[in-house]
Amino acid sequence: MADADDERFMRTRILLGDEGMARLKKARVMIVGLGAVGGYALEALARAGIGELILVDFDSFDISNINRQILALESTIGMKKTEAAKLRVAEINPACKVRLLDMFVNAETLPALLAEKPDFVIDAIDALNPKCCLIEALYQAQIPFISSMGAALKTNPALIKYGKLSATKNCGLAKFIRKRLKKRGVDLGKIYCVSSEEQVDGGFIETESGETAGGRVRNTLGSLPTITAIFGLTIANEAIKKICKI
């Protein structure tokens, strides 16, 4: 297995060195949300040689997911996203340990997530309330993480940026998250995310009831597989760099 692993991750090791590769193999990374963005983040992290993955999602695949979600295939329609993700990781790196948490993220389930003690977390949730709860909890627990902002309706990959939540522009989801987290005393300058600065019409809205189109009350927004993939791959790239301290 050691020889196979050496060959499997040879090019990663050439770039990052033995120490960087060792850090990846020892890392325990949690991905919350295995849809359009989270699926591509998972793909990259598994291929980079992350040693342990904690995969969190409560949903199953349907045919409408196929246009943008790498784990959505004819063969996975109706399958739990966590189960499909586990099978995918096993095909990429059988040595990777995979733990599945089939749950919806909210105030009641957050303690169980934090009890997993991940080294790093990728927040790929598309619902406002769960997303804010997760970000606040990770911030308070001082667990390193990166969040994905809104990728729907965006078409210009050149305007996808990694940086502080406080500096995001033209993202409706980020706007509402900033507002809510600021009220909760979260330092927005310490929250890092991937977002798009592209100006679009429509998108994320907040309803009169206080629920949101990004939460349990939703409106269906168009999205491209290219943009959501770049979001996920950008997050994974930054996560790899942080884990390897480069």
Give per-residue pLDDT as tens, 32-66: 999 999 999 999 999 999 999 999 999 999 999 99
pLDDT on residue 205: 52
pLDDT for res 213: 36
> What does the pLDDT read at residue 2?
52
Q: How crowded is residue 233: how many other Cβ atoms within 10 Å of its Cβ?
A: 17
- Sheet containing strand 97-101, edge to edge, reads 97-101, 52-56, 28-32, 120-123, 145-148, 192-196, 160-164
Per-residue pLDDT tens digits for 149-184 = 999 999 999 999 999 999 999 999 999 999 999 999
> Where in the chain are the domains?
2-244
Give every residue of the chain whose pLDDT is below 50, as ranges: 1, 206-217
CATH superfamily of domain region 2-244: NAD(P)-binding Rossmann-like Domain (3.40.50.720)
| pLDDT value of residue 204 | 58
User: Rounded to whole angstroms, how far apart are CA atoms 87 and 214?
Assistant: 28
pTM score of the predicted model: 0.93
How far apart are the C-alpha atoms of 221 and 203, rounded to whole Å? 7
